[in-house]
Amino acid sequence: MGLSAAALSLACALSGAELAVLSTGYTIRAERHEQSGDRVWLHTESGVLELPAASIREFEALPEEPTEKKPGPVQETPAPLDVDALVEELSAKFGVHPALVRSVMQAESAGDARAVSHAGAIGLMQLMPETAKELEVDPWKPDENVLGGLRYLRQMLERYEGSPDQVLRALAAYNAGPGAVDRYDGLPPYSETRAYVRRVLDRFLKLSE
């Protein structure tokens, strides 16, 4: 269950950086957040993320960083990554519907390139380090993370090509691994995986309208 409006309003009054703990268990670091009705806006270094209030379990205050820092070498700030354009480009290259990729990304990380799960999955598409190594991508680089995640999703779609529930199995395999899907010859009886598949499909259908 997400935070109540009163709890969110109280949390909003706190100063300094904070950690938004999602209902999925993932966390997102934000400088601050705002709430209006059942929507919450997280102000992160990568931009503003809009989420349903029900998707946030709680906020945790982070200790403030020291105000005095030794000057470091001047570095050029890289241009922000256009994730939507990248998804469009790679989806066309790999033959995967871009709305499906966006739906997986939203379910995995809520669009936060720095999201890290308790299991150790990293980034926008929540790649495990060993999977990223097999795919020969750096999961900490957003563009490579999307490339690796899309490539892996394509592999799962190809694995179950010809099955009447190809997309269901591919999504379940992305979440729980193909071994679990093959072992049960379909969706594994894991509540987390089944909820994940429903969440992705629901968003996919809405984006495809």
65 is catalytic: no
Q: How high is the pLDDT of residue 13?
A: 40
Q: Which helix (H) or strand (E) holds 49?
A: strand 47-52
Average pLDDT over residues 152-162: 96
Q: How high is the pLDDT of residue 15?
A: 42
5-61 CATH, one of 3.40.50.10540, 2.30.130.10, 2.30.30.100, 3.40.50.2300: 2.30.30.100
d(CA 1, CA 37): 15
Average pLDDT over residues 49-58: 83
- DSSP states of 167-182 as a string? HHHHHHHHHH-HHHHH
How many CB atoms are closer than 10 A to CB 33? 22
Q: How high is the pLDDT of residue 45?
A: 63
pLDDT at 17 over 90: no
CATH 1.10.530.10 fits 83-207, yes or no: yes
pLDDT in tens, 118-127: 999 999 999 9
Which pTM was predicted? 0.63
Q: Range with the lowest mean pLDDT among 43-47, 112-116, 146-150?
A: 43-47
Q: How high is the pLDDT of residue 8?
A: 46
Average pLDDT over residues 129-156: 96
Residues of the chain with CATH 1.10.530.10: 83-207
pLDDT-derived band of residue 64, with 50, 70 and 90 as boundaries?
low
Residues shown for the chain = 209
- Which of 14-18, 28-32, 48-52, 151-155 reaches the highest mean pLDDT? 151-155
Of residues 89, 108, 161, 209, which has the active-site annotation? 108
